[in-house]
Chains A and B, each alone.
Chain A
Amino acid sequence: MNPQRLRQRAAITAAIRRWFDAHGYLEVHTPTLVDCPALEEHLEPVQVGHQFLHTSPEFAMKRVLAAGLCRIYQIVPCFREEEEGDHHAREFSMLEWYRAGAGTPEIMEEVESLIAAAARAIGVEPPHFVRQTVDELRKSAGLPETVDEVEWFRGWITHVEPHLSRPTIVYNYPLWQAAMATERNGHADRFEVYLSGIEIANCFAEEGDHAVLRQRFNASKDYRRSAKKTPHPTDEKLLSSTPFMPRSAGIALGLDRLVMALTGETDIAQVQIR
C-alpha cells in the first residue's frame, strides 16, 4: 500500500460518484454472496459453503434493469480465484454501470467522459482515446486469423496488448468471445478499454434473448466439464427476468487498474490496502 496512491484513489472514487450523480445514475448494492458466480468458463469463483463470492455484479444488476430502473451503477469488491500478479488480485474493486436504451456507442462516450473526470480529479491530463477494431489490430500485428482460442489469446497478449501504448477502445470482438454480448454484423457487440497498455474495462450491448443466453450457459458448462472443472450453474433468476429487460448496454471497469493507469503505478498492490 502506498498512502499517496490511496489519496489519489479516494479523489478518483469521489469524482466517479459525482459523475454518476450528474448523469442521473442511481447507486445500487447487489449481494456479494451468490448462487451463480459467472457465465465465462475461464473465471474461477471463490466458494463459500454452497455459495460463491461474485466475480462481478453483472447478473444481479441486469435483474435490477428488468425491474425497471434505467440507469444504475455500483462500486463493489469482486473475487476471482487463481488471479495474482502486477495487474491482478483475488479481491479487487469493480465499477459497473448499466443504461437502458443505450448501445455500445453511448457507453464509449460515457466511459471517456468518466475517465476524463477521474483524471482531472488528480490533476492528470485526460487521455484521448483512439478506436480500433480487433481485426485492424490483429492485422497490423501480422497475426493470422484463428478460432483456436489459446493461439488467439497468445498472439493477442504477446503482439497486440503490450504495444497498445495509446489509450485505445477496442471493438468488434469475434463472436466466440461474446459472453453476454449480443451479435451485430457478425461480431460480438462489445468493446474493451485499454489505458497504459492495461485492459481496464469491458462493455457489452446486452444479449436479451434468454434462449441464446441459456445456450451460452450450456456451452460454458460443456467446456468446464471437458476441462474437468465444476460447471457454473445457470442463473435461472436472471433468465426469467430477461424478457422484462430493456435493450441496454453495461460496462465493468476495474477501479484498481484505472487508479494504476492514471497515476502511472505499475503494481496493483500499491493502490490497494494489503
Chain B
Amino acid sequence: MGRTYQTSDFRNGLKVELDNGPYVMVYFQFVKPGKGTAFTRTKLKHMLSGNVIERTYRTGESLAAADIEEQTMQYLYNDGDDYHFMNEETYDQVAIPAKSIEGEANFLVENDKVDVLYYKGNPVNITLPNFIESEVVYCEPGVRGNTAQGATKPATLACGATVNVPLFIDQGETLKIDTRTKEYVSRVQK
C-alpha cells in the first residue's frame, strides 16, 4: 500500500488516486451539518483530461496518494508524432505522444524548461512555463500609431500557436505570451 491522505491532510494541490486515474485537489471545504457528522467537500481535477468532479469525504475517510512525479526537463524537438524532452542533469530523454499534450504543444519553444508529469512511471503530460517568448511568423502588416484599446488581429507564432495581438504588431517581432491564459502580454526587445 502506498501512502494515504486523511481528510485533515486535505489541501489544494494534493494529488490523489481515484478509480480512473490521478486527480489534483483544486478546492476543499469543511462542512458539519448541525444534525450530522463532519465531512469535507472537494473538487478534484483529473490530471490528464482536466475534468473536474465533486466528491465529499467523511472525516476519517482517506484517499490514496497518486503515483505522480514531476521532473523539470528541456524541450528538444518534435518529430510529428512525439515531443522529445531531456533531463538536463542525467541527459535522459523521454518522448510524449502529441495527442497527450494537444493543448500545450503549440506553446513549446525549443530549449525552454517544462515540468514533465510522470504517472506510474510513464511521462503523460507537461506543465508549460507561465510565460514564453516566440517570434511572429505571420500576421497582417502592422498599423503604425494605432493603439486603439481592444482592437486585435491573429498572429501565428514560430512555436505553432495563433494568438490575438494588438494591431501595431509586425511580422518578425518577438512576443511574450502568458501560457495560462494563452494571451499576448507584450513585445520583447531583442
Contact = CB atoms under 8 A, between A and B. Distances in A.
Interface of A: 40, 42, 80, 82-88, 149-150, 152-154, 156-158, 161-162, 173, 177, 179, 192, 199, 202
Contacts of A84: 30
B35 to A, nearest CB: 5
B95 to A, nearest CB: 40
Given A86-B30, A158-B41, A42 B56 contact: no
Contacts of A85: 29-32
Interface in B51-69: 54-56, 58-59
Contact of A83 (B29, B32, B54, B56): B32
Residue with the greatest number of chain B CB neighbours at <10 A, chosen from A82, A157, A162, A177: A157
A67 B41 CA distance: 43
Contacts of B31: 85, 87, 157, 161
Residue with the greatest number of chain A CB neighbours at <10 A, chosen from B29, B33, B55, B59: B33
Given A84-B30, A86-B29, A86-B30, A149 B37 contact: yes
B55 A158 contact: yes
Interface of B: 29-39, 41, 54-56, 58-59
Contacts of A199: 33-34
Contacts of A150: 37, 58
Contacts of B58: 150, 154
Given A82-B38, A83-B38, A150-B58, A156 B33 contact: yes
A88 B36 CA distance: 14
Given A42-B35, A150-B58, 20 more contacts: A80-B32, A83-B32, A84-B30, A85-B30, A85-B32, A87-B30, A152-B36, A153-B33, A154-B39, A154-B58, A156-B33, A157-B31, A157-B39, A157-B56, A158-B55, A177-B36, A179-B35, A192-B34, A199-B34, A202-B34
Contacts of A88: 30, 32
Contact of A162 (B30, B34, B38, B41): B41
A80 B34 CA distance: 11
Contacts of B32: 42, 80, 83, 85, 88
A73 to B, nearest CB: 19
B38 A87 contact: no
